[in-house]
Structure 1
Amino acid sequence: MHTLRFSNFFSFAEETEVSFVLDARSNGAESSFSSTATDRRLSKLLAVVGANGAGKTNVIKALDFVCWFVTKSFFMESGHSLAVKPHAFEASGASRFELEFEAHGKLYRYTLVLNKERVLLESLRLKTSRLFSTLFSREWDAETGKESIKQPNFGLPQKQAEKVKPLTSLISMAEQFGVETAHAIVEVLGRRHSNVGAIGRQAFQAPDVLGAAKFFADSETHRLRMVDLLNQWDFGLKDVRLETLRTMSEGKEEEVLVPFGIHSDGEREVKFPMFAESSGTQAAFVLLADLLPILAEGGTVIFDELESDLHPLMLEPILNLFISQKTNPHNAQLIFTCHSVEILNLLKKGQIMLVEKNERCRSEAWRLSDMEGVRADDNFYAKYMAGAYGAVPML
């Protein structure tokens, strides 16, 4: 479960909240599940919808950045800067994030304030009863040029903590020294797949097809599941086989694992290299290599333009992979942006986030369930297209 609040980040308004938490009126539908740390219900899905340039990618990029910072910032080389910057019209150079998440049945609240040079504030709190208890806090004093680190309940040796690099999370560092809490958090937040980077969506390319082939070669279970799904999605594929071919690269002979699509007319079989298949088939092949391990083990998928290179009717079966307890036994969560707004009628109002840029050139985001007068049985697609909810292109 994730609840992310962030302010002064890229083109966003003063504060924006992205949450998988559903309101108290939500029922026990299959697309949600019960929290293991609270009495709340959590959604498996969250769709981010809005016009081009509204700021949808930045919404999900913020979540991906915080997860990366907590889990991987220790490995960033000294002297490198982070690809994070505040809104162009903001005077402050700092960005603030708050992430509320569950790990192994415990509820944590993480706060991060940083600029391009250093962490200005970092804290981690654990919900122990009705309140949150501080595990550690870290704050930079610009006047004295010194950093204060307090660890009432974290466990990293103080001498090690004081060596933390300016642009490294204390959690990421503590995980390297075997701190149990840090290890549990890194394990959970590290189970994610994202197709967004510093400059936005990372579209699939030819090397991704070969990477997916290697993944499926290492897991026959996932390969069979992939073949079954592609066949269900009516790609005309009977099978996908993996063959090792020899090729020349820079004067040296190398072995490359290449996927082949097997087609049949009922009597004969023919095979085509995956690169000869349609871009939609290749995209689905790569996408399943990313989704299936998260679905099998639990975690979070952060995906920009989920429908890209795919037929719009494929969105529903992809969402169903997350909704079904059979294919998603550990309640993996999917947050995604989408331009195929017909998808709105496949979701509940608490699973739809709308994003719109205001007259001050700042993006504002809100969930449909936060708007007054929106009924659970409304035709969300029709009302959105009619402009009732906002966040539509002004043409």
Structure 2
Amino acid sequence: MLLSFRVANHRSIRDEQELSLVATEFNERTARETGTRSDGKPVSVLPAVGIFGANASGKSNILDAMYFMRRAVLESLADWDREPDAPVPREPFALAHEASDDTSLFEVELLLGRNEKVRYTYGFELSDDRVESEWLHAYPTGRRQVWFDREADRPEADGGEFRFPGTGLSGRKDLKDLLVSTTRPNALFLTVGAALNHPQLSAIHRWFRDNLWLVTTGKDVVERTAWTRERLTGSQGAEMRERLVTMLASADIGVTGVEIDPETGNIQLLHRGEGDSVRPLDFWSQESLGTHAWFAFLGPLLTMLNRKGGGVLLADELDSSLHPVLAAEVVRLFQDQDANPQLAQLVFTTHDATLLGPSVTERPLDRDQVWIAVKEGSGESSLYPLLAARKARNDENMERRYLHGHYGGVPRLATGEVARQLAVLERRLAQQTASEPEPKATTTA
């Protein structure tokens, strides 16, 4: 499971930002015990966190950074340019010239293992030219073990680029030498280790492979629909279909079943008709865009909920294609221990203040599950927990206080400001038009 994520110098994110999924002392309902301890204290994890903020505040770039890290781990060896001096495909902050000279940082803190869970910290820093640093630390007994540490500029006298202090990372010296010699300057050591089947490195690599599924608004609905359809016709299709129909029916859109033509792959959803009749409707031509969005969302959602050890689903703008009531139910689904026994996690962005709720009983989120993204005057995005903005009381109307700007993360606009500004512009344009001389009439012979 995911405990935290750190990022710096990626898209609108300039300075280092951290998103934590570790529960705090302010959590009263939703935290889940992990059975592990840190600094002598039990560690509880959050099954969901929501990132709120105005348009262009950088909410989506937090999720994009997490997904970029996943792609880097999976693709740096085979899909990044294989020439040793080829550039690294990163996206540093674009509004400051010096940002292109600074490294981009990505780091996750994980808790892995079925019976005895172990905490890991894995991260790397990238420049345009190479991997500048990379590290993997493990805490099997609560104390840190450095499994490997990579510094591109470390001199040979100090051990060279790669160091393997201690005995935490298994394998003979010749195996580690092979991994080092195979790792290009613009490829990640973790990716190389997994490609050569190193057991410990492969376990971390598998977490990235199986997690951080980014669901974006509208862009990938067709792709996700096709993926869901394939799951319904696979070896686990009957079980998946039963779960899918349950979720479709619970959304109150009148769906009672799903049929898939084995020859064409066309999807038909079964609807209640007059009396007890059931009518099939063609998915693409007769169903609403809202039904398309919900169906396409359910494939990744159900996959993450049922993944052994729990999965992490990233949902960008959860509210944009789902009704607020349905979006709240998605959050509650991840919070429910019976519906989510594997402790899957949801990280989502949203504008929907109703998820903050006017009261404790009406909101699905605890106070420490709410994060705020803001855009600074320099164009940089900042991320902070709601509780850092103000020690919000559990019984206060967080929805109203958020909309009134008490926590930040809302547009700085006075009521009617957009209309006033446009009216001023229209009057100025009208005056300019009135002051222009009439064009002279032209005659033709």
Q: Pick from 67, 72, 77: which aligns with 1:74?
A: 77
Give, in whole Å, the separation in 2 of the partners of 1:128 and 1:221.
36
Displacement after TM superposition at 1:238 (Å): 1.4
Provide TM-score, normalisation by structure 2. Answer: 0.80
**1:205-239, Cα deviation, whole Å (9 max, x unpaired):** 43432332111122211111111111111111111
Give, in whole Å, the separation in 1 of the partners of 2:297 and 2:206.
22
- Report SS of the residue matched to 2:395: coil
Give, in whole Å, the separation in 1 of the partners of 2:252 and 2:9.
45
**2:428 equivalent in structure 1:** none
**2:152 equivalent in structure 1:** 140
Displacement after TM superposition at 1:193 (Å): 4.6
Aligned residues of 1:242 and 1:259 also touching (Cα < 8 A):
yes
Displacement after TM superposition at 1:130 (Å): 4.9
Aligned pair count? 379
Q: Pick from 65, 86, 102: which aligns with 2:92?
A: 86
My pick for the range that moved more, 214-223 or 291-300, is 214-223
1:379 aligns with 2:397: yes
**2:294 equivalent in structure 1:** 284
**1:51 equivalent in structure 2:** 54
Q: Where do 4+ consecutive residues of structure 1 move more than 6 Å?
A: none
**1:88-138, Cα deviation, whole Å (9 max, x unpaired):** 215134211222111111111123110232100001111244542210011
**2:109 equivalent in structure 1:** 100
Instruction: Give unpaired runs (5+ residues) of structure 1.
Output: 246-255
**2:383 equivalent in structure 1:** 365
AA aligned opposite 2:20: S
Displacement after TM superposition at 1:178 (Å): 2.2
Give, in whole Å, the separation in 2 of the partners of 1:93 and 1:36.
39
Q: Pick from 184, 196, 199: which aligns with 1:180?
A: 199
Seen in structure 2, the aligned counterparts of structure 1 residues 83 and 183 have a Cα distance that, compared at 3 Å, is same
- Report SS of the residue matched to 2:265: strand
Displacement after TM superposition at 1:355 (Å): 0.6
Give, in whole Å, the separation in 2 of the partners of 1:267 and 1:98.
55
**2:425 equivalent in structure 1:** none
**2:10 equivalent in structure 1:** 9
Aligned residues of 1:302 and 1:334 also touching (Cα < 8 A):
yes
Give, in whole Å, the separation in 1 of the partners of 2:219 and 2:327.
17
Give, in whole Å, the separation in 1 of the partners of 2:127 and 2:217.
23
Aligned residues of 2:147 and 2:164 also touching (Cα < 8 A):
yes
**1:248-295, Cα deviation, whole Å (9 max, x unpaired):** xxxxxxxx3121011222332221111120011111111111110110
**1:18 equivalent in structure 2:** 19
**1:325 equivalent in structure 2:** 337
Percent of matched pairs sharing the same residue: 25
AA aligned opposite 1:294: M
Give, in whole Å, the separation in 1 of the partners of 2:377 and 2:205.
39
Give, in whole Å, the separation in 2 of the partners of 1:9 and 1:207.
26
Give, in whole Å, the separation in 1 of the partners of 2:217 and 2:193.
31
1:259 aligns with 2:287: no
**1:39-95, Cα deviation, whole Å (9 max, x unpaired):** 211100110110101100111111222233234433324257554222121513421
Aligned residues of 1:100 and 1:110 also touching (Cα < 8 A):
yes
Aligned residues of 1:195 and 1:203 also touching (Cα < 8 A):
no
My pick for the range that moved more, 59-68 or 72-81, is 72-81
Aligned residues of 1:296 and 1:327 also touching (Cα < 8 A):
no
1:331-346 matches, cutoff 5 A: 331-345=343-357, 346=363
**2:33 equivalent in structure 1:** 34
Seen in structure 2, the aligned counterparts of structure 1 residues 116 and 291 have a Cα distance that, compared at 3 Å, is same
- Report SS of the residue matched to 1:337: strand
AA aligned opposite 2:164: Q
1:157 aligns with 2:184: no
1:193-342 matches, cutoff 5 A: 193-195=212-214, 203-218=219-234, 219-245=237-263, 256-265=264-273, 266-275=275-284, 276-297=286-307, 298-342=310-354
**1:348-379, Cα deviation, whole Å (9 max, x unpaired):** 11111101111222111100122343112222
AA aligned opposite 1:150: R
Aligned residues of 2:224 and 2:299 also touching (Cα < 8 A):
no
Give, in whole Å, the separation in 2 of the partners of 1:41 and 1:372.
23
Seen in structure 2, the aligned counterparts of structure 1 residues 60 and 170 have a Cα distance that, compared at 3 Å, is same
Give, in whole Å, the separation in 1 of the partners of 2:369 and 2:382.
17
Give, in whole Å, the separation in 2 of the partners of 1:378 and 1:213.
44
Superposition RMSD on alpha carbons, in Å? Answer: 2.2
**1:177-206, Cα deviation, whole Å (9 max, x unpaired):** 22221122122232225336xxx8662343
**1:142-162, Cα deviation, whole Å (9 max, x unpaired):** 999x96111233235212222
Instruction: Return the index of the structure with the highest Cα Rg.
Output: 2
Aligned residues of 1:149 and 1:162 also touching (Cα < 8 A):
no
- Report SS of the residue matched to 1:378: coil
- Report SS of the residue matched to 2:383: strand
Provide TM-score, normalisation by structure 1. Answer: 0.89
